[in-house]
Amino acid sequence: MTDEIKRLKELINASNTVLILPHKAPDGDAVGSAVAWFHFLLNNNKKPTIVFPDRPAAYLLPFLDEIEYLVFETQPEKSLELAQHCDTLFCLDFNDPSRVGKEAVELISSFKAQSVMIDHHPFPSDFCTLQISKPSVCSTAQLLFECIEEMDLLSSVDKNVGQGIYLGIMTDTGSFRYPSVDAKTHYILGKLLDLGVEHFKIHESIFDVNTLDKLQLRGFAINEKLVCIPNHPIAYISLTKEELDRFNYQKGDTEGLVNVILSIEGYSVAALFVESRDGIKISFRSKGDYFVNEFSAKHFQGGGHKYAAGGFSEDTMSVTIERFKTFLNELLP
Ligand SMILES: [Mn+2]
């Protein structure tokens, strides 16, 4: 057992009430990790509560059926009050306080007891008592399983824990296909099926829940808005607020669209620009020798993994896209 894991185990043993905090706009790994950790702690006779900075998208809500959780955005006082009385704060699937948003960051900055970060994004900030950072691991969910295994606590991993871990691994690896997947990933997945995790149900609940509006928005985006950069394996789609409104846009409706761009034969970088109330939200994906995290950090206040990064721009759509085009040479290997 490494010192880190020993400290984690001691911290868990010494805790009673626990607050679990994933990042804002939680994806499948954030929700899956939070759910898995919730059940794992519950099975160890702790009192966990998840606080989401904002409401998870509708397709993730079925995973929260039997979970105690708060949404900071709508219950800030209750969330802060709860944090006052917790022994331990677990920050999952993010590595910088800013990732929970301007408001919910108070949960971290005002937290008086022990805090633990467990995460797989590169370049962590130093903001917790104990930091377990493994950028080589495909998902926070897999990292949680590895921590539990190393703590010798696999006996408290049941089907509920397993479902969260499966969800996190599946969604952060494009259904087990990214280079970040390793033999350990498949070994863990096998263990999860042994626990009774119904993998097909998890796939169905993530992939077979498209609304007609979402599919038609996607059709419009690919048909009318896809731009392929001449002489470079780079393509992008931009969607304005007005275009989104035309298809009754709901949070999560552009999920996966950036991967569709990347699936064009011979293309290695994909970008998706989506206009929101505060500015332009950007998703970058890449493969092979093309990396997007540093590019996004440098030009679009973003970051993430080398093959998957987010970004943001306060400029208009056209200015943002011009900036992307101006600097895209930096994306070339
Ligand atoms: Mn993740």
Q: Are 151 and 5 in contact (CB under 8 A)?
A: yes
Q: How far apart are the CA of 136 and the centre of ligand 1, in A? A: 11
Q: Among the CATH numbers 3.90.1640.10, 3.40.50.1980, 3.90.470.10, 3.60.15.10, which is that of 3-207?
A: 3.90.1640.10
- Cα 331 to chain center, whole Å? 23
Query: Side chain identity at 86, as an amino acid letter?
Result: C
Q: How far apart are the CA of 231 and the centre of ligand 1, in A? A: 33
Q: What is the pLDDT of residue 29?
A: 98
Q: How far apart are the CA of 246 and the centre of ligand 1, in A? A: 31
- Cα 54 to chain center, whole Å? 13
Q: How far apart are the CA of 271 and the centre of ligand 1, in A? A: 19
What kind of fold does domain 214-331 have according to CATH? Diaminopimelate Epimerase; Chain A, domain 1 (3.10.310)
Q: How far apart are the CA of 33 and the centre of ligand 1, in A? A: 9
* Rounded distance between C-alpha atoms, residue 149 and residue 153, angstroms: 6
Q: What is the pLDDT of residue 290?
A: 97
Residues with CB under 5 A from ligand 1 (ion): 29, 93, 140, 172
Q: How far apart are the CA of 198 and the centre of ligand 1, in A? A: 21
pLDDT class for 68, splitting at 50, 70, 90? Answer: confident
% of the chain with per-residue pLDDT over 70: 100
Q: Region 244-249: what's the mean pLDDT? A: 97
Least Cα distance to 272 among 287, 264, 262, 284 occurs for 284
Q: What is the pLDDT of residue 265?
A: 97
Half-sphere exposure of 262 (CA within 13 A, CB side): 22
Q: What is the pLDDT of residue 252?
A: 83
Q: How far apart are the CA of 318 and the centre of ligand 1, in A? A: 30
Q: How far apart are the CA of 324 and the centre of ligand 1, in A? A: 25
Q: How far apart are the CA of 4 and the centre of ligand 1, in A? A: 20
Q: Region 223-250: what's the mean pLDDT? A: 97
Q: How far apart are the CA of 31 and the centre of ligand 1, in A? A: 10
Q: What is the pLDDT of residue 302?
A: 87
Q: Region 24-40: what's the mean pLDDT? A: 97
Q: How far apart are the CA of 307 and the centre of ligand 1, in A? A: 13
Q: How far apart are the CA of 28 and the centre of ligand 1, in A? A: 8
* Block residue for tokens 């010192």: 3
Q: What is the pLDDT of residue 5?
A: 98
Q: How far apart are the CA of 172 and the centre of ligand 1, in A? A: 6
Would the pLDDT of 66 be above 90?
no
% of the chain with per-residue pLDDT over 90: 95
The residues pairing with 51 across neighbouring beta strands, listed in sequence order, are: 70
Could you report the per-residue pLDDT of 277-314, keeping only the tens digit for each? 999 999 999 999 999 999 999 999 988 889 999 999 99
Q: What is the pLDDT of residue 276?
A: 94
Q: How far apart are the CA of 141 and the centre of ligand 1, in A? A: 7
Tell me the longest C-alpha to C-alpha distance in the chain: 59
Would the pLDDT of 190 be above 90?
yes
Q: How far apart are the CA of 305 and the centre of ligand 1, in A? A: 9
Q: How far apart are the CA of 160 and the centre of ligand 1, in A? A: 19
Query: Mean pLDDT, the chain, as a whole number?
Result: 96
Q: What is the pLDDT of residue 221?
A: 98
Q: How far apart are the CA of 301 and the centre of ligand 1, in A? A: 19
- Cα 293 to chain center, whole Å? 15
Q: What is the pLDDT of residue 251?
A: 83
Q: Region 3-12: what's the mean pLDDT? A: 97
pLDDT class for 86, splitting at 50, 70, 90? Answer: very high
Least Cα distance to 274 among 307, 242, 235 occurs for 242
**What are the structural domain ranges in the chain?**
3-207, 214-331
Query: Side chain identity at 54, as an amino acid letter?
Result: D
Q: What is the pLDDT of residue 303?
A: 81
Could you report the per-residue pLDDT of 129-144, keeping only the tens digit for each? 999 999 999 999 999 9
Q: Region 167-182: what's the mean pLDDT? A: 95
Q: What is the pLDDT of residue 255?
A: 87
Could you report the per-residue pLDDT of 100-116, keeping only the tens digit for each? 999 999 999 999 999 99
Q: How far apart are the CA of 215 and the centre of ligand 1, in A? A: 25
CA angle (325, 310, 98) in 5-degree steps: 130
Q: Report the 3 state secondary structure along the chain.
A: CCHHHHHHHHHHHHCCEEEEEECCCCCHHHHHHHHHHHHHHHHCCCEEEEEECCCCCHHHHHHHCCCCEEECCCCHHHHHHHHHCCCEEEEECCCCHHHHCCCCHHHHHCCCCEEEEEECCCCCCCCCCEEEECCCCCCHHHHHHHHHHHCCCHHHCCHHHHHHHHHHHHHHCCCCCCCCCCHHHHHHHHHHHHCCCCHHHHHHHHHCCCCHHHHHHHHHHHHHCEEECCCCCEEEEEECHHHHHHCCCCCCCCCCHHHHHHCCCCCCEEEEEEECCCCEEEEEEECCCCCCHHHHHHHCCCEECCCEEEEEECCCHHHHHHHHHHHHHHHCC
